[in-house]
Structure 1
Amino acid sequence: MTFEEMRDRIANGQGFIAALDQSGGSTPKALRGYGVEDNEWNGDDEMFGMIHEMRQRIIEAPCFGNGKVIGAILFEKTMEGESGGKSVPARLAERGIVPFLKVDKGLEEERDGVQLMKPNPGLEAMCARAKELGVFGTKMRSVIKSANPKGIRENVRQQFADGVRILSSGLVPILEPEYDITAADRAEGEKILLDELIAGLDTLHDDQQVIFKLSIPKEAGLYSDLIKHPKVLRVVALSGGYSTDEACSELAKNPGMIASFSRGLLQDLRKQQDDGEFDGTLSGAIDQIHAASVT
């Protein structure tokens, strides 16, 4: 796929984006969920080797290339790896799946009700490498924990500031200011977030577009204006701790918003499954998430 074909696939594709971007801090938990105990690996190299084997198995599963997955978000080590005898981004593109790269460096401590992203001085170099490998876009996550207008404003400002750096590098950013779904004031805070996101879009040039990855809103349809905005390529939803059933049920209430699930996609996959069982389990999750995304 060319870059413009990838853009069209994300803008108009009837499917969802898979999140395969667990990084160092979340990898042990992801492996345990996959049925790999901590005593089965020793050191980061073995840990990342095992998570790469899991991701290769997902990427090469017959159902993963059936057209219902339109994009996949990768961890940097996964981007640098191979699958099916090709680089992972090239293999994904070959299967009709648009590759994205997680580029944030983790979270700061909470302040003003939010966790901002850690500084990222090497962002442009990482984007250049991703572009060289055929990656279309990036993803970076920060967190909102309460309806604090000051904190939400700073959270969104940081997302857009780094987003402009990514746009200048020739990639399309996914901005992910996740709202903690357990927050008691989420309905109020998401309205503040929406206002700040629209204000941020006003700072972009007319020929620039971003993707938003947001928690499924408490108020169904809250993000409909974002979905229609000319500077928004797509609005995607994170599962945010919901089970697959819960996430799909909530997502289906928000037409135009598609999934970008991690836990919701991977929760029932196990290393011990044979290839047929693995593909069947993954296929069931893909079908369910796809149906919720295209409702």
Structure 2
Amino acid sequence: MNQAHFDKMKNGKGFIAALDQSGGSTPKALADYGVPESAYTNEEEMFDLVHQMRTRIITSPAFDSNYILGAILFEQTMDREIAGKYTADYLAEEKGIVPFLKIDKGLAAESNGVQLMKPISDLDDTLRRANERHIFGTKMRSVIKEANEDGIKAVVDQQFEVGKQIIAAGLIPIIEPEVDIHSPEKEKCEELLKTVILSHLDQLSENENVMLKVSIPTKTNFYKELIDHPRVVRVVALSGGYSRVEANEKLKANDGLIASFSRALSQDLNANQTDEEFNAALEKAVKSIYEASI
């Protein structure tokens, strides 16, 4: 493990940029960026276009390590290059930003009020390649929609089971049990979730560390015990469908919780903007999310 990256994630000021839209969410990400589906005829062209978008974000002067601690990449992005370097190397060496990799294969069908992760059949190979590409950590997402004790336990059990494989490979897992912000039982879900996460954290050994990615809690500072837990490197929050203004306001109220926003980071960016317009819009987003995170 890269100790400098670990120290930066543990103690640095800033947030994590989520640039990990995968196959299923790429058409929407491109459409939001002003690239319609008519602009590409197959998946290969679609992924070329989304890599151009991510490259434009990452190479922008606004994408600055004074504000951004880390960036989460999609698997294809990890294998592509920016300015002649693999993306993770470009992030670390040129930008001073810690690279993470999204490793989940999407969500299974809803059961017991939750969506578990689909099986990750090639996990060992992915983790080997992640190490070759100098990735620091990984991210994997599940979704909780109802305050179902069995369902929430299954989500956290699965996340930590995979998380231990990731730790054994020398990487830091970002465990992401997202609570749907539209759930009528959101607060109750969060109560059940925190209890199960704490029980798993307490079972980790001194050399087993994780990060957590959560929905911004209904009750302010509700996740303080997780943030302060000795086995937790950092707790980050997803925007979860809130606008950037709303997500930032909610985040500010929670001490020690930092952002890991995707759509809220890129919502004002457009393929048709000049570089000056694009960089100004990204700078405004980056600085507002940074302020909310510190």
How far the C-alpha of 1:203 sits from its partner, in A, is: 2.2
Paired residues of 1:104 and 1:118 also in contact (CA < 8 A): yes
Corresponding residue number in structure 1 for 2:179? 179
Paired residues of 1:194 and 1:223 also in contact (CA < 8 A): yes
* C-alpha RMSD of the superposition: 0.8
Corresponding residue number in structure 2 for 1:91? 90
Residue 146, structure 1, aligned to residue 146, structure 2: yes
Residue 20, structure 1, aligned to residue 19, structure 2: yes
Query: TM-score normalized by structure 1?
Result: 0.98
Corresponding residue number in structure 2 for 1:206? 206
How far the C-alpha of 1:66 sits from its partner, in A, is: 4.5
Corresponding residue number in structure 2 for 1:65? 64
What one-letter code is carried by the residue in structure 2 that aligns with 1:182?
Answer: H
Corresponding residue number in structure 1 for 2:124? 124
Corresponding residue number in structure 1 for 2:5? 6
Where does structure 1 differ by over 4 angstroms across 4 or more consecutive aligned residues? none
Structure 2 residue runs of 5 or longer lacking an equivalent are: none
Residue 43, structure 1, aligned to residue 45, structure 2: no
Paired residues of 1:238 and 1:260 also in contact (CA < 8 A): yes
SS in structure 2 opposite 1:260? Answer: strand
What one-letter code is carried by the residue in structure 1 that aligns with 2:14?
Answer: G
How far the C-alpha of 1:267 sits from its partner, in A, is: 0.4
- What CA distance in whole angstroms lies between the structure 2 residues aligned with 1:60 and 1:114? 37
- What CA distance in whole angstroms lies between the structure 2 residues aligned with 1:218 and 1:76? 32
Corresponding residue number in structure 2 for 1:286? 286
What one-letter code is carried by the residue in structure 1 that aligns with 2:255?
Answer: P
SS in structure 1 opposite 2:261? Answer: coil
What one-letter code is carried by the residue in structure 2 that aligns with 1:81?
Answer: R
* Counterparts of residues 101-120 of structure 1 (less than 5 Å): 101-120=101-120
Superposed CA offset, 1:237-292 (max 9, x none)? 00000000000000001010000000110001000001111000000000000000
Q: Percent identity?
A: 51
Alpha-carbon distance change, 202 to 66 in structure 1, aligned in 2, over 3 angstroms: closer
SS in structure 1 opposite 2:178? Answer: strand
Q: Which moved more, 1:58-67 or 1:33-42?
A: 58-67
- What CA distance in whole angstroms lies between the structure 1 residues aligned with 2:225 and 2:96? 29
What one-letter code is carried by the residue in structure 2 that aligns with 1:144?
Answer: I
SS in structure 2 opposite 1:181? Answer: coil
Corresponding residue number in structure 2 for 1:270? 270
* Counterparts of residues 123-272 of structure 1 (less than 5 Å): 123-272=123-272
What one-letter code is carried by the residue in structure 1 that aligns with 2:130?
Answer: A
Superposed CA offset, 1:86-140 (max 9, x none)? 1100000021100000000111000000000001121111011011111000000
- What CA distance in whole angstroms lies between the structure 1 residues aligned with 2:111 and 2:275? 46
SS in structure 2 opposite 1:189? Answer: helix
- What CA distance in whole angstroms lies between the structure 2 residues aligned with 1:243 and 1:84? 32
How far the C-alpha of 1:84 sits from its partner, in A, is: 2.1
Paired residues of 2:65 and 2:97 also in contact (CA < 8 A): no
Corresponding residue number in structure 1 for 2:53? 54
Superposed CA offset, 1:34-61 (max 9, x none)? 0000100111000000000000000100
- What CA distance in whole angstroms lies between the structure 2 residues aligned with 1:263 and 1:251? 15
Structure 1 residue runs of 5 or longer lacking an equivalent are: none
- What CA distance in whole angstroms lies between the structure 2 residues aligned with 1:212 and 1:146? 20
What one-letter code is carried by the residue in structure 1 that aligns with 2:270?
Answer: R
SS in structure 2 opposite 1:141? Answer: strand
